[in-house]
């Protein structure tokens, strides 16, 4: 089937009545961490055939797309975000043929397929870096960020790595330092170099021609540095904990260069030459909102940006939600946001935001709130089951950041544990062998098969809520016409055309009576015993005005 025919098939299968809206506006995207989704060959590590075998589960949720974290050839020192070949599949995950099969099956089920692209750095085992480091005079000598030592032999600047320690490593072969904003095995590409940009656009074209429907672009604000290599100034005093040297600086010069949007425009020009492609940038850091808007402005940049507003928040509060939404008003030329409460880099939300005995009620309120936000929403695998953070012992850790900063950094491994499919099966039905990370007994009890058999499960509730979002234009792509926080009460008003929906959430520990003006209308959904006139603890209600 050619690409155009395949896209027509997907559109008809999705049955979305959005008028002129693109498919991705308001979409629900399901993130898959391939190492931990389903193992098909008994080696304890998830793979592409395993994902393909479980696509029916994802389609049953009512999501629009999947986003698959890196599966490219890699030494796996940062578990795929250190790419050694952008255009091939690492053998632990399968083959390119396996990927083609996955795409075909996803499209049959009406699921779009997004994949990660890592444009800021590669692995030090990438052929590009091997050539670049071989001498100061070769075709790829300027493809990475190299610099001479200072007269005293110290690094060229004071820049620090996200994972701890200096962002520069000495290379005796070149007789220079190379930059790495993450691990020393992840050398920084020189995004200023037109040849590098061309090569990265070629990577995108390779996957677009294979039928992918879009990209999540990793760490995009790290794509270019200050060529003058000026030192970063110290960060002002803060009451936020500082566990890494990286936290002690204002990151003015090692990232966020003003030329990044021009490169983004080249990415957009490429994706616009295909049909229905969606692009979303991962943007973190102190100036995330400013950069997210620059990266998505107008019709010549990316479609959306993926913020960290909720991913590391210790508490979910009405003020946090209102502040996040206020950054993205429905204004001409302003980009479209994407939201997530969980992902592969952040501790599970239920472990951060509520006590263990509150998780069942809180999970429902949280899911309804996510579905009520303006923008795209991203579900992380297992979020539909209410998975929690697994406590991984030090001797079983794989996450290099957690190992380096033990015990002060919460392990990313604890959110990357395998999906539990069958409560009574060995390894939860994830694998026939011991998994690369333990499932955790608490999560194994939340297995898919157990929740499938329970019409009151969080899994059933997730399907219900996503169908509700999909069938109400005000929730799917409407503006936020009002938002307010009053103590523990969050009040949102979403509007599209003639439809207005008020969403009320009680994030406090006591019952709240909403203002009279917010109670009028028809209740279309309520959770945890809520009504228009009374919101118990973690109660929530949607009212069509």
Instruction: List active site positions.
Output: 218, 282
Bridge-based pairing state of the strands 278-282 and 146-147: unpaired
What gap in Å lies between CA 374 and CA 278, rounded to an integer? 17
Q: Is the previous residue joined to 407 through a cis bond, with omega within 30 degrees of 0?
A: yes
What gap in Å lies between CA 376 and CA 234, rounded to an integer? 35
Residue in the block written with tokens 């992840």 = 186
What gap in Å lies between CA 8 and CA 4, rounded to an integer? 6
| SS3 call for 335 | coil
Instruction: For residue 471, give every residue at least 6 positions away whose Cβ sits within 8 Å of its Cβ, in sequence order, or none.
Output: none
Stretch (H or E) spanning 217: strand 214-218
In the sheet with 522-527, reading across from the earlier edge strand, the strands are 479-486, 489-496, 499-506, 540-544, 522-527
In the sheet with 146-147, reading across from the earlier edge strand, the strands are 146-147, 176-179, 168-171
Residue 118 exposure: Cα atoms within 13 Å on the Cβ side: 26
Q: Which residues of 63-85 are buried (b: 16+ CB within 10 A; e: fewer)?
A: bbbbbbbbbbbbbbbbbbbbbbb
Would you give the DSSP letter of residue 85? E
What gap in Å lies between CA 47 and CA 33, rounded to an integer? 10
Bridge-based pairing state of the strands 168-171 and 176-179: antiparallel
Q: For the packed helices 260-272 and 288-296, what is the interaxial angle rounded to 10 degrees?
A: 40
| SS3 call for 511 | coil
Provide the phi-psi class of 244: left if phi over 0, else alpha when psi is between -120 and 50, else beta. Answer: beta
């Amino acid at each position: 089937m050619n690409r155009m025919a395949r896209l027509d098939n997907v559109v008809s299968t999705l049955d979305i009545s959005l008028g002129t809206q693109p498919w991705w506006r308001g979409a629900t995207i399901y993130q898959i961490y391939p190492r931990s989704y389903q193992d098909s060959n008994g080696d304890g590590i998830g793979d592409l055939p395993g994902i393909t075998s479980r696509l029916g589960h994802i389609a049953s949720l009512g999501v629009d797309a999947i986003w698959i974290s890196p599966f490219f050839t890699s030494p796996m020192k940062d578990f795929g975000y250190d790419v050694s070949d952008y255009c091939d599949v690492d053998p632990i995950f399968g083959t390119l043929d396996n990927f083609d099969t996955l795409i075909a099956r996803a499209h049959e089920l009406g699921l779009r397929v997004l994949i990660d692209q890592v444009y800021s750095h590669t692995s030090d085992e990438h052929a590009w870096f091997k050539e670049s480091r071989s001498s100061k005079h070769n075709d790829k000598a300027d493809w990475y960020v190299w610099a001479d030592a200072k007269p005293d032999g110290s690094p060229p600047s004071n820049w620090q790595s996200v994972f701890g320690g200096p962002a520069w490593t000495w290379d005796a072969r070149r007789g220079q330092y190379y930059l790495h904003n993450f691990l020393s095995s992840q050398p920084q590409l020189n995004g200023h170099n037109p040849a590098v940009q061309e090569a990265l656009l070629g990577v995108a074209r390779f996957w677009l021609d294979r039928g992918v429907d879009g990209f999540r672009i990793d760490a995009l604000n790290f794509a270019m540095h200050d060529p003058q290599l000026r030192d970063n100034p110290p960060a002002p005093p803060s009451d936020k904990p500082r566990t890494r040297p990286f936290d002690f600086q204002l990151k003015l010069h090692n990232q966020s260069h003003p030329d990044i949007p021009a490169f983004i425009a080249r990415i957009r020009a490429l994706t616009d030459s295909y049909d229905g492609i969606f692009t979303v940038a991962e943007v973190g850091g102190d100036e995330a909102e400013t950069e997210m808007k620059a990266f998505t402005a107008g019709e010549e940049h990316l479609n959306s940006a993926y913020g960290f507003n909720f991913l590391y928040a210790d508490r979910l509060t009405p003020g946090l939600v209102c502040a996040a939404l206020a950054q993205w008003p429905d204004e001409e030329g302003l980009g479209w946001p994407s939201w997530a409460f969980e992902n592969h880099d952040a501790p599970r939300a239920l472990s951060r935001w509520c006590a263990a005995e509150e998780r069942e009620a809180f999970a429902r309120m949280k899911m309804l709130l996510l579905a009520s936000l303006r923008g795209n929403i991203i579900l992380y695998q297992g979020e539909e089951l209410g998975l929690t953070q697994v406590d991984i012992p030090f001797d079983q850790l794989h996450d290099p950041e957690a190992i380096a900063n033990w015990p002060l950094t919460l392990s990313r491994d604890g959110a990357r544990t395998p999906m539990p499919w069958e409560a009574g099966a060995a390894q939860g039905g994830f694998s026939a062998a011991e998994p690369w990370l333990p499932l955790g007994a608490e999560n194994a009890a939340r297995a898919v098969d157990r929740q499938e058999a329970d019409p009151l499960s969080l899994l059933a509730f997730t399907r219900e809520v996503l169908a509700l979002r999909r069938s109400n234009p005000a929730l799917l792509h409407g503006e936020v016409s009002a938002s307010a926080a009053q103590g523990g009460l969050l009040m949102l008003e979403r509007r599209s055309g003639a439809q207005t929906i008020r969403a009320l959430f009680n994030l406090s520990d006591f019952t709240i009576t909403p203002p009279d003006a917010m109670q009028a209308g028809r209740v279309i959904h309520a959770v945890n015993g809520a009504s228009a006139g009374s919101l118990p603890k973690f109660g929530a209600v949607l009212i069509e005005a």
